[in-house]
Amino acid sequence: MTTAVKTPPWLAGPSERRLREISGVMTLGGPRSAGYAALIIEDAMALKQLAATFLRCANAYTSPIVRLSPELLFEIFSYVAELEPTNDEELGWIRLGHVSYAFRSALLSMRGLWASAIWDVALHALPEVHSRAGDIPLSIHLKNNFGEDVESERIEFAMENITKARRVKIEECNTNTNLWTLEPRNLAGRSFPHLEELDVQLLYQDGSSDDLDWLGTEVYRLEPMHAPRLRSVHLANVFVPFCPDNLTSLSLTRLKYHLDGTVAISADLLPSPEHFLDMLARCVNVRHLQLEDAIPDIASLDPPLRSSRAIELPSLKKLSLSASMSIVTALWSHFAPLPVEASITIRPDWTDYTRAVGGFVDPRRLSFLSLFMEHFARGSSSHVSALSIEAELYEENYATQCGFFKRASNPAVEEGQPIYLEDTGALGDIYVPFLDVWFSQCVWDAQISLSRLIESIPGLFLAGIETLDVMDVFRDDLRRLLARLPRLHTLYLRSPASSSLAILAVKQSGSSPATSTSETYLPGLRHLRVFDLSLCQDTAIHRNVPHFDEMVDILSSRRNAGIPIQSIHIANLRIYGNWEASDAFVERVRELVPGEVIVNKEVL
């Protein structure tokens, strides 16, 4: 049943006359006119449009949101823009302007929003969005994902308006299109009054005849652009003349990209040692400094000259250096003592393209850590409380990590917390690097061995270690490492062999106390975390897999010695047996461990 809608008086007369007119034409019985039928349809469409307009007016009159002040609308629209971004296929937040005149007026007055969206809209809409931005500084963002191209008109528009930008972010992900066309000489001395962030990441193309024009030693001597607001610079395989005095973040990268990784490009495409050191000396406000294969071949600074010529970086919070070991060693000699709160990551001989370059033995690795004695000595003995050792010696990687970590914030956080997140392997939020060293292209042999690296770690570095995370470290090397960690209370073992687990057991002789060797007694060990472990029910069938009892014996021996494991997590446990036996094993572990027991198992 439908309800009749009463026609309002202002419409009743005209509408009735029009309907009578149409009815009269129809009753004449003459030939039908296509033109007259089109007029009737036009009337219907006009009424439909009028109805929509009336509905919008009704909504505007009754809806609370459209009666809000412009200031509140600005705040709401900003959130909507984050949740519903515009792109070259969808309007997103721009549809707000279609709701009402008040919305449209408020949206058009938000010039900063339009300025940030210029590079997100379709090419045909770019001039209109640019005009709506008015004189607000732009946010330029160009990116060509794999299999995608950016229109040349869009690139040209970006380059023409580069001096109007507040933020510039260029990301080349394929070599089909050059997203950056401005040579350093075209930028030297130009004014960038609004620029705050400059991030240009290009792909290096082998054999380019323009290398010297873009990255040759001479371009680093060009007059810097005038950008008084510039605070962050990230340049990969490109150079833009900049002044480092006011920067808070600086990242320079020179790499060739391959499908399987990256390698450094030619050394003649770097600044001179003198210019490079002068640039660093002016980075007094830099908090984050990253140099990846961007350091020239500098000479070490003689110790007598350090007091007068060492580079001070008083604001530094995070440092990342990736270069050959000789270059990293030389550069470190030029630094004055760095702030102890700085997080330092060093990657000697770094490459993630080891399949092409392979690995090599280098005796200098055994003395490398001693370079940082002064830095460690400036912190308290308990400043560094976690250690990560990883020896990825398989053919695809050739990397060895020796990382020292400190608490990120709260020193009173409970024991047993991980350095790395268990689900992703990424660094968690409990610890931050104090000194994280990754030896790349790293091969050990009988003379230059991982054991000798462990023995070469200065005792000062290990004095406060309470948490240890190890991966791919063999039994004898692990034994040597544990012997040097008297304060250890938390141990993370990743992919351990049964022989590595066995050294945690405590042996007893008669009525005497525990007589396990002092190397593995570990009286303070309370929390054990094991990842990627295999156990079996029958060793006759699975000869290379340890029996359940081996883990049970370890836990039992420590409990009987009065130093029980207080909590245990076993993740990615593969059990070769039946469910009854696996459940019995977990129950036995619960009996031996008084605290938290978490076992993530798969029965095969």
Q: How far apart are CA 120 and CA 118, in angstroms?
A: 6
pLDDT of residue 10: 78
Domain membership flag for residue 389: yes
Domain match, 516 and 603 both: yes
Indicate if 267 and 404 belong to the same structural domain: no
pLDDT of the residue at 568: 94
Residue 260 lies in a domain: yes
Tokens of 92: 């997103």
Predicted pLDDT at 405: 94
On whether both 456 and 601 belong to a single domain, the answer is: no
Do 330 and 355 fall into the same domain?
A: no
Q: Are 439 and 515 contained in the same domain?
A: no
String of b and e for 552-569 (b: at least 16 CB within 10 Å)? bebbbbbbebebbbbbbb
What pLDDT shows up at residue 147? 67
100 & 239 share domain: no
Total domain count, the chain: 4
Query: Do 429 and 544 share a domain, yes or no?
Result: no
Asked if 267 and 192 sit in the same domain, the reply is yes
Exposed e or buried b per residue across 157-166, where buried means at least 16 C-beta atoms within 10 angstroms of its C-beta:
bbbeebbbbb
Q: Are residues 430 and 569 in the same domain?
A: no
Mean pLDDT of residues grouped by 10 in the chain (604 residues)? 64 80 78 82 86 79 75 81 80 80 83 84 86 89 80 90 94 85 93 96 71 84 96 95 97 76 71 95 98 94 90 96 95 94 93 73 96 85 84 76 87 78 79 93 92 94 94 89 93 82 77 47 90 88 86 92 93 90 92 93 87
107 forms beta bridges with none
Does residue 598 sit within a domain?
yes
Structure pTM? 0.82
For residue 27, is it within any domain? no
Cα–Cα distance list, 267 to 263, 295, 442 (Å): 12, 9, 22
Query: Can you give the pLDDT at residue 511?
Result: 47
Model pLDDT, residue 566 = 95
In the listed set 439, 463, 487, which residue is the last one of a domain according to the structure?
Answer: 463
* Residue 124 within a domain: no
Hey, is 16 helix, strand or coil?
Answer: helix
Residues 244 and 311 reside in one and the same domain: yes
Long-range contacts of 263-267 (CB under 8 A, 24+ apart): 263/351, 263/353, 263/356, 263/357, 264/293, 264/323, 264/351, 265/204, 265/237, 265/293, 266/211, 267/296, 267/297
Same domain, 66 and 152: no
**E strand or H helix that includes residue 45:** helix 34-62
Burial of 219 (0-12, 13-18, 19+ CB in 10 A): buried
Q: Is 437 a domain residue?
A: yes
Last residue in a domain, options 339, 368, 397: 339
If asked whether residues 445 and 515 sit together in one domain, one would say no
Considering only CA atoms, which of 484, 483, 490 is closest in space to residue 466?
490
Q: What does the alpha-carbon distance between residue 437 and residue 287 come to, in Å, rounded to a whole number?
A: 20
Determine the structural domain holding residue 424 and report its residue range.
349-463
Residue 135 burial (C-beta neighbours within 10 Å; 0-12, 13-18, 19+)? exposed
Q: Which residues contact 106 (CB under 8 A, 6 or more apart)?
A: 70, 73, 74, 77
Within a domain: residue 195? yes
Segment 233-273, tens digit of pLDDT: 999 989 999 999 999 999 999 887 655 566 666 777 889 99
Polymer length of the chain: 604
Residue 599 amino acid letter:
V
- The answer to whether position 50 is within a domain reads no
Q: Where are the beta strands (DSSP E) in 361-489?
A: 386-392, 399-407, 431-439, 467-471
